[in-house]
Amino acid sequence: AHRLSDLNRPFSYRQNPPAMPAKRKAAKSAPGDLKKVDSSAPVWLEKAMSHANLISPKNAEMEDKPDSPKKQASVMSPSHFDPYTMNLKVKSDFPKVLPAFIEVAGQSRNKYEWDHDLGCLVLDRVLHSAVFYPQSYGFFSQTLCGDGDPLDVLVMNTSPLMPGSTVFVRPLCYMIMEDEKGMDEKVLAVSSNDAHYYDFKTFEDIPGHVLREISQFFETYKALEQDKWAKIGGWKGTAETYKLIEETHQTYLETTKAMQSP
């Protein structure tokens, strides 16, 4: 077992990052049968809410045209499933157990991201550096972090998990991180349905080398990408991880509520 203090260390920069813009405040939308999109919300959230028929999309008149790219995409992808709005609190013991959507298989350099218009995973990029994701990687639905994206999670599992799958996990800790878009914490969890990890219950059960490997990966994986940087901090324990999940879930709920408010 290791102590939390042994793994905490000051922030380190790969290079001096630019000053972060001030956080925008959510603005209430105009009344209507379908709620207007809050212009301060992330684009992905606007699209996800629109596909769930919770708000009216931006440029709706353009999307109604039969030859528009988005109209064609909706014909190709009739399902309104969107992992960003998938129910997060499906287990009674939330946030100790919750679903994670997988975008990247462990030991892969291929970075996939969900395309809200096509309704599927699309290759965003192959990592520029000669590195690979140390664990399968994805996010928690219905969460919103300081960088405008859902809360990211790495999932420890015996074998790499398939991109596009959903797995129930037990979150154990998280790493403080900031990148060019804002705060971008990384949760580390274990698959709740993998017998090899049944005994992993808290932060102290994770080998120290696993944590150092993850920190090293995120500190260097953007090194060859232009205008991108990463700032890595220490690790936080299990109770603090539960709090982070609840807080980012609450931020998501408040933001979507503001988008729907008259």
Instruction: Give the per-residue SS3 of 81-129.
Output: CCCCCCCCCCCCCCCCCEEEEEEECCCCCEEEEEECCCCEEEEEEECCC
Tokens representing 166? 């959903």
Tell the burial category of 49 from Cβ atoms under 10 Å away from its Cβ (0-12, 13-18, 19+): buried
- Residue 198: which of 75, 93, 97, 124 has the closest Cα? 97
Question: Which residues make Cβ contacts (< 8 Å) with residue 4, sequence separation at least 6?
Answer: 203, 234, 235, 236, 237
- Residue 151: which of 246, 222, 232 has the closest Cα? 246
182 close to 205: Cβ distance less than 8 angstroms: no
| Strand 166-179 to 186-191 pairing | antiparallel
Tokens representing 42? 């992330």
| Strand 182-183 to 136-140 pairing | unpaired
pTM for the predicted model, two decimal places: 0.76
107 close to 147: Cβ distance less than 8 angstroms: no
User: Hey, what amino acid is at 36?
Assistant: K
17 close to 229: Cβ distance less than 8 angstroms: yes
Alpha carbon distance 224, 210 (integer Å):
24
pLDDT tens per residue across all 262 residues of the chain: 555 555 565 555 444 554 544 444 444 434 334 344 444 678 878 777 776 666 655 544 444 555 554 444 444 444 578 999 999 999 999 999 999 999 999 999 999 999 988 999 999 999 999 999 999 999 999 999 988 999 999 999 999 999 999 999 999 999 999 988 889 999 999 999 999 999 999 999 999 999 999 999 999 999 999 999 999 999 999 999 999 999 999 999 999 999 887 6
Return the biggest CA–CA distance within the chain: 60
| Strand 151-156 to 186-191 pairing | parallel
